[in-house]
Amino acid sequence: MNNLFLEGKKKRMSKREKIVIPNAEIERQKGFLLDIKNMTKSPKFAFIETYGCAQNVNDSEKLLGMLSMAGYEKTLDKEKADIIIYNTCAVRENAELKVFGNIGALKALKRKKEDLIIGVCGCMMQQEHIADQIRKKYKHVDIVFGTHALYRFGEILKNVLTEKERIIDITKSDGVIYEDMPISHTGTVSQGVSVMYGCNNFCTYCIVPYVRGRERSRLKEDIISEVKSIAEKGIKEITLLGQNVNSYGHDIENYIDFPDLLGEVSKVEGIERIRFMTSHPKDLSDKLIDEIASNKKVCAQLHLPIQCGSDNILKKMNRKYTKEEYLEKIKKVKEKIPNITLTTDIIVGFPGETNEDFEHTIDVLEKVRYDSVFSFIYSKRKGTPASVMEDVLTPEEKKKNFNRLLEVQNRISKEINDEYENKEYEILVEGESKTDINYLTGRTEGGKIVNFKGDKNLVGKIIKIKVTKAQTWSLFGEII
């Protein structure tokens, strides 16, 4: 079952933890997918639900690509599905609880439809204690596999279909990398492209390095050829993805870095907007700031997670920067890119955080004036260093601080958005508004959502609008 090979494309450094899956193995896996296509009825339907971040969305696109090769069509109706897959996230406890609830609810469907295959994969499953829980308590689940086994999905599925036995494949390999597996891009206007996988940072609260393995970069040729195939479909915007894109290329000898990769990607004809996620503040270079400032296709937008404003807590988080160093970088960014849209992630209630520490976070919000903030209450993750650190604040005190943070940020977001009123912007039209079908929605270069009335054939086009009204989370405008 676990055919891992240690050889691979020459240019990549053969670091112990990096396992490049050779083409022969990928072809073998494709063979399993084609076998499934030939041995089962058609059409067959697949339902995939994705939790978590853009990396997981990207993995689900790979799953969909493999399923499509095996003769499955995508469905949004669970009742119609021959296979249901949950691609899970482990970053916070509430994400995990939701998954358990949803898997439990599939029991009735499985009883009604004996041939239904239920699979659970992704970051949550890469943790042994969780996979064990599924094995023991959720007997209606047929397949469990972790992030490292994704490329073996064809082999896993074929075995389940032929042997009628459950398969649990959570082999840990700290990081496989491969190319040339099918992928079904699901973006219609904007598309994510992974440039690297894994993370080496080991922030003490975070499960990601444990479930996604070490950093490994894709070769630039592979990235460019994927971007070209996306551009050929008429898609104008791409987001380059990685847990810390600033480390791109560091794992490959004498390789290009992330700013140079942005330069290469921007040469692809048809791509007009390039975004990227995420940047670790410690690795944000002057070169990257200059590339955003000078490259017209790279959007004036930066997501730079600070997590907390207190030096004491930043140290305990293993973030490797101080509040002052962070603010210094923001100052540089604002000087060189005055129209930049800034966003961040913040964790409230990290073990040991006091109300005084929290005041530093509020101070950062007031000083930086982010366009928006993604804030989370700290969630204990089994096996991480922070999980054994002691709390100072009670859950009620943490909640109070969390609400205060929201209040402060909502005020700032609204103040910033107010300044957009009566000004003109170019937006890329994304589709119907999720909240009101009478409106279309699009994004400015900085990523601000603008709702406006217009014809659906504008979707996918870049048009000019004038902002008529600002709200905390979005803007309203009219076509000019």
Residues found near ligand SF4 in the complex (CB under 6 A): 199, 201-203, 206, 208-209, 243-244, 280
Would you say 89 or 265 has its CB closer to ligand F3S? Answer: 89
CA angle 439, 440, 444 (to 5 degrees): 125
Would you say 8 or 175 has its CB closer to ligand SF4? Answer: 175
Phi, psi for residue 323 in degrees, rounded to 5? -55, -45
Hey, which residues between 244 and 263 contact ligand SAH (CB under 6 A)?
A: 244
Among 179, 257, 345, 363, binds ligand SAH (CB under 6 A): 345
92 binds, among ligand F3S, ligand SAH, ligand SF4, none (CB under 5 to 8 A by kind): ligand SAH
Residues contacting residue 57 through CB under 8 Å, at least 6 positions apart: 50, 186, 192
Report which DSSP code applies to 49.
E
Residue 193 is a binding residue for ligand SAH (CB under 6 A): no
Q: Which residue has the tokens 């059409």?
A: 43
CB of 139 to ligand SF4, least distance (A): 33
Residues contacting residue 136 through CB under 8 Å, at least 6 positions apart: none
Would you say 157 or 177 has its CB closer to ligand SF4? Answer: 177
User: Cis peptide before 43, with omega less than 30 degrees from 0?
Assistant: yes
Sign of CA dihedral 62, 89, 51, 435: negative
Phi, psi for residue 261 in degrees, rounded to 5? -65, -40
Footprint on this chain of ligand F3S (rule: CB under 6 A): 52-53, 55-56, 89-91, 123, 207-208, 211-212
Q: Which residues pair with 375 in a beta bridge?
A: 346
- Of 177-185, 376-384, 424-432, 438-446, the segment contacting ligand SAH by CB under 6 A is 376-384
CB of 272 to ligand SF4, least distance (A): 29
Cα–Cα distance measured from residue 52 to residue 55, given in angstroms and rounded to the nearest whole number: 8
The sheet carrying 117-122 orders its strands as 72-74, 44-50, 83-88, 117-122, 143-145, 167-169
Residue 208 is a binding residue for ligand SAH (CB under 6 A): yes
209 binds, among ligand SAH, ligand F3S, ligand SF4, none (CB under 5 to 8 A by kind): ligand SF4
Report which DSSP code applies to 246.
G
Would you say 310 or 343 has its CB closer to ligand F3S? Answer: 343
- Of 37-45, 72-80, 203-211, 400-408, the segment contacting ligand SAH by CB under 6 A is 203-211
Please say whether the beta carbons of 201 and 250 come within 8 A: no
Please say whether the beta carbons of 193 and 55 come within 8 A: no
378 binds, among ligand SF4, ligand SAH, ligand F3S, none (CB under 5 to 8 A by kind): ligand SAH
CB of 414 to ligand SAH, least distance (A): 23
Q: Which residues bind ligand SAH (CB under 6 A)?
A: 91-92, 205-206, 208, 243-244, 278, 280, 305, 307, 345, 347, 376, 378-379, 381
